[in-house]
Amino acid sequence: MTQTPNEQVKPLRTRATRQAILAPDLTRYLDRRQLDLAVTDQVQALQVRVRRGLEVFEKRRAKALDAAKFTMVNHTTVIILCAVVAAFAATAQLWISTSAALIAGSGFAIALIRAAFDRFQLRRLENRFRVKDIDSAQTVDEILAIADEVLNTAATLGAVPEETAPKDPAQ
């Protein structure tokens, strides 16, 4: 469960993946402010709730991974079309059209790289949180630590709306 420095999570870069991972109901399952410890003082009840939050996060992560892949395929197609248009325009000596196609292709190449970084980051998170970690937790504090880590990761990615995201205690 501990996070090594090379596993640092960064916000997602593309709009499609940010929209796909957005899960406002995560705070209901994982935020300490939403957990009534008087009601859920039983370890098993808290485990069920955190497990449900982890399932929601994993479903949204998988959906965002698909969105990143779809974005990459679309951008690659547009880049190829721009290259073809640029090649035909260059042979016809239509330099403005050639330049426009190359500029458009460059813009889509940058967006493609952003989508690839999103996909890489989402794949890296695939096995970070496991249900067996929640099941092996013995105390309420251990379960809440897991919930905090999942919620903070989700908030960093953009899965939790800013108004419901957990506040950084350092601020």
Query: Mind listing the pLDDT tens digit for each residue in 89-119?
Result: 999 999 999 999 999 999 999 999 999 999 9
Give a yes or no: residue 142 inside a domain. Answer: yes
pLDDT of residue 62: 96
Give a yes or no: residue 151 inside a domain. Answer: yes
Query: With bands split at pLDDT 50, 70 and 90, how would you rate the model's confidence at 38?
Result: low
Q: What is the 3-state secondary structure (H, E, C) of the chain?
A: CCCCHHHCCCCCCCHHHHHHHCCCCHHHHHCHHHCCCCCCCCHHHHHHHHHHHHHHHHHHHHHHHHHHHHHHHHHHHHHHHHHHHHHHHHHCCCHHHHHHHHHHHHHHHHHHHHHHHHHHHHHHCCCCCCHHHHHHCCCHHHHHHHHHHHHHHHHHHCCCCCCCCCCCCCC
Q: Which residue has the higher pLDDT, 34 or 74?
A: 74
Q: How many domains does the chain have?
A: 1
Query: Mind listing the pLDDT tens digit for each residue in 56-71?
Result: 999 999 999 999 999 9
Give a yes or no: residue 162 inside a domain. Answer: no
Domain span holding position 115: 9-157
Determine if the pTM surpasses 0.85. no
Query: Mind listing the pLDDT tens digit for each residue in 121-163?
Result: 999 998 888 888 888 888 888 888 999 999 999 999 999 887 7
Give a yes or no: residue 167 inside a domain. Answer: no
